């Protein structure tokens, strides 16, 4: 068996929208030289290019997938929303939510992005693959059932999970979201359910501004099965690993899912333009190692990572490559050129003590 890598050149062709970073162009906002939203093809394309140059592709089961079907999408998103999305896409594109522009064909590209996640999860669950990475674009974790936002047009992970449930491949799922922004869409979709444990580690009140609080734990049957771990700006490598060790792993162990799905954003890295954390490529490598270890203990190693955010074109490829090195055990590495510099930029002893105390308080609240 092997590590799967799911990607498709068509996903790099998604685009649209008159923005400068996240600001709509207007009387006092001029276009950037690079143009458009920070969610652009280059972070993903440069990751794929780095993989080719390093030769790690030789150690991965590289493949595309069929798009998610209308039925797949309709398990998560209302028919009315899908119809409007398709019609707007066919008419040349537009924007249905907040910061979610798309061009003609955007519906089909979003369906393909969700299809990559769906197939990655399916092949891990049926034993074809040990684990897998889906380079999905556009991303998905902010998308609510009927309202896309934050660059996310469909909720890729939710679509993949519902397809797995419908096929009878699994019944109990855990989603660990380490994108620096709150996974509000995934949270909303599963908020009243106990068959999906959702855990979001994020910069507090970065995006969205009004979601992701520690006290938001789910409702009804889902009470206690939603967990938010909001961190202040500046939390770095050691804080993220403490969160994984002291909150995430105990929660996953207790829940014992059939599979673990990671919403893998790289925007907690030190160079991201939309966040204020100082994580490194090694942070992602070590978080991946921890997810692999807990997956080995609780769900026969079944682990799927689905690409979400991350907007440093220069640095995201090294973070992604580190994850793939860990997932596959490949000897083909791409050394982090900023490792020494970022090691020196981590919180000092007093700052780290503050972050550790905060993690302890949250662990007491969430894990007990």
What is the C-alpha separation between 300 and 296, in angstroms, rounded? 5
The answer to whether the beta carbons of residues 210 and 181 sit under 8 Å apart is no
Clarify whether 142 is annotated catalytic. Answer: yes
Tokens 């997810």, located at residue: 291
3-state DSSP: the chain helix, strand, coil percent, rounded to 5?
Answer: 40, 15, 40
What is the C-alpha separation between 172 and 247, in angstroms, rounded? 19
Q: Among 38, 79, 54, which Cα is nearest to 275's? A: 38
Catalytic residue, from 77, 142, 182, 237: name it: 142
What is the C-alpha separation between 157 and 306, in angstroms, rounded? 7
What is the C-alpha separation between 160 and 169, in angstroms, rounded? 11
Q: Where are the alpha helices (DSSP H) in 149-259?
A: 156-167, 184-190, 237-243, 249-255
Residue 220: which region, alpha, beta or left (left: phi > 0; alpha: psi -120 to 50)?
A: left
Q: Is 171 helix (H, G, I), strand (E, B) or coil?
A: coil
132 CB neighbour count, 10 Å cutoff = 28
Angle in degrees, CA 162, 243, 247, rounded to 5: 65
Residues recognised as catalytic:
142
């Amino acid at each position: 068996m092997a590590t799967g890598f799911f990607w498709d050149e068509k996903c790099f062709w998604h685009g649209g929208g008159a923005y400068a970073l996240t600001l709509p162009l207007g009387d006092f906002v001029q276009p950037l030289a690079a143009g458009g939203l920070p969610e652009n093809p280059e972070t993903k394309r440069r990751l794929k290019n780095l993989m080719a140059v390093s030769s790690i592709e030789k150690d991965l089961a590289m493949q595309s997938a069929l798009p998610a079907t209308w039925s797949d999408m309709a398990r998560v998103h209302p028919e009315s929303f899908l119809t409007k999305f398709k019609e707007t896409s066919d008419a040349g594109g537009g924007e249905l939510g907040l910061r979610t522009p798309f061009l003609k064909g955007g519906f089909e590209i979003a369906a393909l992005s969700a299809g990559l996640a769906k197939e990655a999860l399916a092949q891990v669950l049926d034993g074809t693959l040990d684990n897998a990475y889906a380079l999905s674009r556009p991303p998905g974790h902010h998308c609510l059932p009927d309202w896309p936002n934050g660059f996310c047009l469909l909720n890729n992970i939710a679509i993949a999970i519902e397809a797995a449930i419908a096929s009878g491949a699994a019944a109990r799922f855990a989603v660990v979201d380490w994108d620096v922004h709150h996974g509000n869409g995934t949270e909303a979709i599963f908020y009243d359910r106990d068959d999906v444990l959702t855990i979001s580690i994020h910069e507090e009140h970065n995006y969205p501004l009004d979601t992701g609080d520690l006290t938001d734990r789910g409702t009804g049957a889902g009470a206690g099965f939603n967990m938010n771990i909001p961190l202040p700006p500046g939390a770095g490598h050691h804080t993220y690993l403490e969160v994984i060790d002291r909150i995430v792993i105990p929660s996953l162990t207790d829940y014992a899912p059939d599979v673990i799905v990671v919403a893998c954003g790289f925007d907690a890295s030190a160079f991201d333009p939309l966040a204020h954390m100082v994580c490194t490529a090694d942070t992602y490598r070590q978080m991946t190692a921890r997810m692999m270890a807990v997956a080995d203990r609780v769900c026969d190693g079944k682990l799927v990572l689905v690409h979400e955010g991350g907007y440093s074109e220069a640095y995201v490829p090294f973070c992604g490559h580190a994850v793939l090195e860990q997932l596959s055990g490949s000897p083909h590495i791409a050394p982090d050129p900023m490792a020494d510099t970022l090691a020196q930029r981590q919180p000092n002893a007093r700052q780290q003590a503050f972050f550790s105390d905060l993690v302890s308080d949250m662990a007491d609240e969430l894990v007990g």
